[in-house]
Structure 1
Amino acid sequence: MKHLADLLLLGDSRLYETCELVLESELPLVPDWVADLHNVMEEIRAKYQFGRGIAAPQLGIMKRLIYLNVDRPQVIINPELVSVSDETDELWDDCMSFPNLLVRVRRHRNLTLTYRDEHWQLQTWNVTDWSISELIQHEYDHLNGVLCTMRAINEQSFRWRPTQY
């Protein structure tokens, strides 16, 4: 079982790599990967009071896998952004791989995502909830080796998270 100490931190070269597709033959490995992602996310929540999603490469699992836990646990395998809205908005983004830093970024308001679920069923998700849309874009970026630091609006788009722990 992976723990917080296994989380890759800003500067680790693996965070900048593009992940490989999860193969259908690897589906039996997914429950263990998801358990690790869930465990680390719960440790982040306990220590830093944030965390709604985590991407597999943040634990060195270089596969296209995202785990969300907003209202319920959700496994997203091999996601593809089919479309994004022209309308964007700005937010202070955070990341488990650098939990004390906030980065001002611009994300699309809405999106359509196709992916495989934990049963390998193809799903299409039209996301119109802004908080979910920006979260999916953040995690999707991780699968492509893109960190929110690379999407900063400008050089003044960085600040320390207020101390709350």
Structure 2
Amino acid sequence: MKHLADLLLLGDPRLYQTCEPVLESELPLVPDWVADLHNVMEEIRAKYQFGRGIAAPQLGIMKRLIYLNVDRPQVIINPELVAVSDETDELWDDCMSFPNLLVRVRRHKKLTLTYRDEHWQTHTWDVTDWRISELIQHEYDHLNGFLCTMRAIDERAFQWRPTPGTNL
């Protein structure tokens, strides 16, 4: 079982690599990968009070796998962004691989995603909820070796995460 100490941190060269697709023959490995992703996300939530999604490469699993847990756990295998809206918005993005840093980025408000689930079933998801759309884009970027630091809107788009209970 992987733990918080196994999480790759900003600067680790693996975070900048493009991941390989999950093969159907690797499906038996997915439950263990998902358990590791879930465990590390829960540890981040307990320590830093955030975390809605995590991508496999953040644990050194160089596969196209995303685990979301917003309202329910969701496994996204081999996602492909097939469409994004022209309309965008900005937000202060955070990342488990640099939990104390926030980065101002611009993301598409809506998207369409195709992917496979943990049973190898194919899905098409039209995401119209802005908070889910930006989350998927963040995690999808991880699969392609992009971090939100690389999408900063300008050189002033960085700030430290306020410590809980302070006004910083």
- Shared fold (TM-score greater than 0.5)? yes
- The separation in 2 between residues aligned to 1:162 and 1:109, in whole angstroms, is 26
- The separation in 2 between residues aligned to 1:8 and 1:60, in whole angstroms, is 7
Q: How many residues align?
A: 163
- For the residue of structure 2 that corresponds to 1:77, the secondary structure is strand
- For the residue of structure 2 that corresponds to 1:66, the secondary structure is strand
Give CA deviations for 1:30-86 in whole Å, capped at 9, x if unaligned: 000000000000000000000000000000000000000000000000000000000
Give CA deviations for 1:113-153 in whole Å, capped at 9, x if unaligned: 00000000000000000000000000000000000000000
TM-score, structure 2 normalization? 0.97
- The separation in 2 between residues aligned to 1:147 and 1:160, in whole angstroms, is 16
Shift of 1:100: 0.1
Shift of 1:101: 0.1
Shift of 1:161: 0.2
Shift of 1:4: 0.0
- The separation in 1 between residues aligned to 2:117 and 2:100, in whole angstroms, is 32
Q: Which residue of 2 aligns with 1:138?
A: 138
Q: Which runs of 4+ in 1 moved over 3 A?
A: none
- The separation in 2 between residues aligned to 1:76 and 1:149, in whole angstroms, is 23
Task: Structure 1 unaligned segments of length 5 or more: list them.
Answer: none
- The separation in 2 between residues aligned to 1:144 and 1:79, in whole angstroms, is 11
Q: Which residue of 2 aligns with 1:99?
A: 99
Q: Which residue of 2 aligns with 1:14?
A: 14
Task: Structure 2 unaligned segments of length 5 or more: list them.
Answer: 164-168
C-alpha RMSD of matched pairs (Å): 0.1
Give CA deviations for 1:86-112 in whole Å, capped at 9, x if unaligned: 000000000000000000000000000
- The separation in 2 between residues aligned to 1:65 and 1:3, in whole angstroms, is 18
TM-score, structure 1 normalization? 0.99
Q: Where does 1:57-76 land on structure 2 (aligned, <5 Å)?
A: 57-76=57-76
